[in-house]
Amino acid sequence: MLKSVRTGRDNADQLADALALTLEEIRAVLTPILGPAAVTALYRRCLHLCAARHPCFESIHKNEDVSMIASSVSVMLAQLSSTDDVQLGDVLINTFYTLLASLIGPPLTEQLVGDCTASARARNDQQGDDT
């Protein structure tokens, strides 16, 4: 989903919308299976892990009422450069995917949320190949 969004300040709203849609798709897939409390707990853990590497996530993680709604992430991304927008959106999606895979296994994670997270994971793999 995030793959189709180009960098540039003019497209910041598109990025935020794409991230919100990706998070909503993940939430919609997982909530009937895991329940809303478990999905929220996974999301909070994901934000905690992201905040450890990227301090800009701390303000979202500290909010005690965090549920899997992208509005707070969108506000944070709006304050950053367009390159950071894409990178941090991908960090959030990839961290959530990795966390979920560590709990239920990679095959089931791929089956459940693979389509939602494919573009962010592809960019992450490409960056790993570049280094």
Domain count, the chain: 1
In a domain, 3, yes or no: no
Tens of pLDDT along 76-128? 666 666 667 678 888 889 999 999 999 999 999 999 998 887 766 665 555 55
What six digits make up the tokens of 1? 């989903």
Which pTM value belongs to this model?
Answer: 0.76
In a domain, 54, yes or no: yes
What six digits make up the tokens of 80? 């950053």
In a domain, 1, yes or no: no
CA 21 → CA 28, 45, 74, 116, 126, distances in Å? 10, 20, 11, 9, 23
Percent of the chain predicted with pLDDT > 70: 61
Domain containing 21: what range?
8-130
In a domain, 28, yes or no: yes
